[in-house]
Chains A and B, each alone.
Chain A
């Protein structure tokens, strides 16, 4: 079992490596030649569009499933979601993603372009030269070359732009011509979970009020040990007397992350990868960062800016390190949760992908059988680990936030 697993992981990385090589190799070409080649390529890009049934690629399939599309897919059903888009020239555009007519082609590829926007692989993209396509237009298909995506309209490829992202170009994103404030799949997942948690906790609160002085019962007794665990083992030891002030934040963090981690693992509900998205963990880490630092007391800032009790010259080393640490702490919070959950999703998706790899995309039934035989135990094993990870990561995020706040609000010690 371990042998086959390491083989599969090895195989996955081999495939991933192979695909990652392709664009890198292309970049090494002579720039002039590349430009000409580019022109040449883009011309006949659209010739093959529409009938490319390529080999199964587990990497891109996994990335497709963990992404945050502008539609909600459960099995064969695709539910449209509201798109809220902003472009400097065009202003705000608010419409349902059904405008893209994604059911026509499937896989979240929109059949129509709308006001310069198209839906490529479930994500809204904008035609870079927006003036070319206004209003509605039929998209013949999408083509991908090097790192760029193209929409084929009337047989002509139009270069597409992804939405603006906050990474400043470090991670392949950056500011583009439009911003996407849509209610995406992740937002829907978050809303569902928040409503569910709200309903659950209001019911529990009511139970506490109605059954005042009595032993807990039902869902109340299920949540109570978890609630008390976070309160007594996380909030109180780290925050001391100040715990009631930060208890709602810590509880909210823990239950929000835990519920979303678990929700993402339930099969056939869309597998929403909310806590495995950097934007979400960034938001949570930023909130933790702000709460920590606006509650920072004098000793906390003193330890960062001018560490007491060390020789003067050491302070010049310590202070920059401490200032860096100030930002590294929320950064690790953000990356840890994101990486754990995303990795879990990718591994599960890859194990499921084994069925298609061995089955050669449905051409070999025997191979599919082997793939299923491998995939089921591996996926079950991985889901069990992910269940553990869901709790551990929610707990770790909460306890670290508690420790950061605790360190910041601590009165002078020694």
Chain B
């Protein structure tokens, strides 16, 4: 039978104290070196990895936004350029048309002037021709009259009169 006085756990004995120190220090040193440190390192590394991954994602997002803005700007610029080009083209077109119109007008007036000049010339030529032909006809008529009618005096006169009338008529 045991006595209450034998509350042995409160009497620290040398052996258990010695073994506790030894075992705990060994545990501390060995597990500290081979487990706790590497685990802490692995956790720190993972933490850093996660942080850097998050940072990278943020950076990528930023870059994406930047790129998008750039694209937008580029697009705007292109749009502006296009409208500018369209405007320019229109202006050029208008200018060309205007120029062409003016040129054509000028050309036409030139042609008209030339044409009227030509007509005048042709008319003059034709009149000259007519005059020449009339002269020639008169000469030929005169020749025949002279040959036929100059047999008697009366008929000669008659003929001259008739011819003269004819000439006056024209």
Does A25 lie at the interface of the complex (its beta carbon under 8 Å from any beta carbon of B)?
no
Does A218 lie at the interface of the complex (its beta carbon under 8 Å from any beta carbon of B)?
no
| Distance from A254 Cβ to chain B, minimum over Cβ atoms (Å) | 10
Inter-chain contacts of B24 with A (CB < 8 A): 190, 252, 256, 283-284, 287
* Smallest CB gap from A276: residue in B: B9
Q: B20, A60: Cβ atoms under 8 Å?
A: no
Q: B39, A201: Cβ atoms under 8 Å?
A: yes
Given A283-B24, A286-B21, A60–B13 Cβ distance below 8 Å? no
Q: A247, B15: Cβ atoms under 8 Å?
A: no
Does A244 lie at the interface of the complex (its beta carbon under 8 Å from any beta carbon of B)?
yes
Residues of chain B at interface, number, CB under 8 A: 44
Does A305 lie at the interface of the complex (its beta carbon under 8 Å from any beta carbon of B)?
no
From B10, B46, B49, give the contact of A167 (CB < 8 A): B10
CA of A136 to CA of B155 in the docked complex: distance in angstroms? Answer: 208
Residues of chain A at interface, number, CB under 8 A: 75
Does A382 lie at the interface of the complex (its beta carbon under 8 Å from any beta carbon of B)?
no
Q: A66, B16: Cβ atoms under 8 Å?
A: no
Which of B28-36, B65-73, B108-116 has 4 or more CB atoms under 8 Å from chain A?
A: B28-36
Q: A252, B31: Cβ atoms under 8 Å?
A: yes
From B6, B9, B33, B46, give the contact of A248 (CB < 8 A): B33
Does B123 lie at the interface of the complex (its beta carbon under 8 Å from any beta carbon of A)?
no
Write out, one digit per residue, whether chain A residues 201-245 have a CB within 8 A of any chain B CB (1) or not (0). Answer: 110110011001100000000001001100100000000000010
| Distance from A200 Cβ to chain B, minimum over Cβ atoms (Å) | 9
Q: B35, A187: Cβ atoms under 8 Å?
A: no
Does B42 lie at the interface of the complex (its beta carbon under 8 Å from any beta carbon of A)?
yes
Inter-chain contacts of A276 with B (CB < 8 A): 9
CA of A16 to CA of B6 in the docked complex: distance in angstroms? Answer: 12
From A121, A280, A338, give the contact of B16 (CB < 8 A): A280
Inter-chain contacts of A208 with B (CB < 8 A): 38-39, 42-43
CA of A171 to CA of B10 in the docked complex: distance in angstroms? Answer: 7
Write out, one digit per residue, whether chain B residues 55-83 have a CB within 8 A of any chain A CB (1) or not (0). Answer: 00000000000000000000000000000
Does B104 lie at the interface of the complex (its beta carbon under 8 Å from any beta carbon of A)?
no
Write out, one digit per residue, whether chain A residues 102-119 have a CB within 8 A of any chain B CB (1) or not (0). Answer: 000000000000000000
Q: B40, A247: Cβ atoms under 8 Å?
A: yes
From A57, A171, A251, give the contact of B11 (CB < 8 A): A171
Does A301 lie at the interface of the complex (its beta carbon under 8 Å from any beta carbon of B)?
no
Does A367 lie at the interface of the complex (its beta carbon under 8 Å from any beta carbon of B)?
no
Beyond A59-B4, A67-B6, 11 extra complex contacts between A and B, CB < 8 Å: A60-B1, A64-B2, A67-B8, A167-B10, A172-B5, A172-B10, A181-B14, A194-B23, A280-B17, A283-B17, A338-B10
Shortest Cβ-Cβ A-B pairs, 5 listed: A248-B32, A283-B20, A201-B35, A173-B11, A279-B12
- 24 of the cross-chain contacts (CB-CB < 8 Å) are A52-B1, A57-B4, A64-B6, A67-B8, A123-B8, A163-B15, A166-B13, A171-B11, A181-B14, A190-B20, A201-B31, A201-B39, A202-B34, A204-B35, A213-B49, A224-B43, A227-B39, A279-B13, A279-B14, A279-B17, A282-B12, A283-B17, A286-B21, A342-B9
Q: Which residues of A contact B (CB under 8 A)?
A: 16, 19-20, 23, 52, 54, 57, 59-61, 63-64, 66-68, 84, 121, 123, 144, 147, 162-167, 171-173, 179-184, 186-187, 190-191, 194, 197-198, 201-202, 204-205, 208-209, 212-213, 224, 227-228, 231, 244, 247-249, 251-253, 256, 273, 276-280, 282-284, 286-287, 338, 342
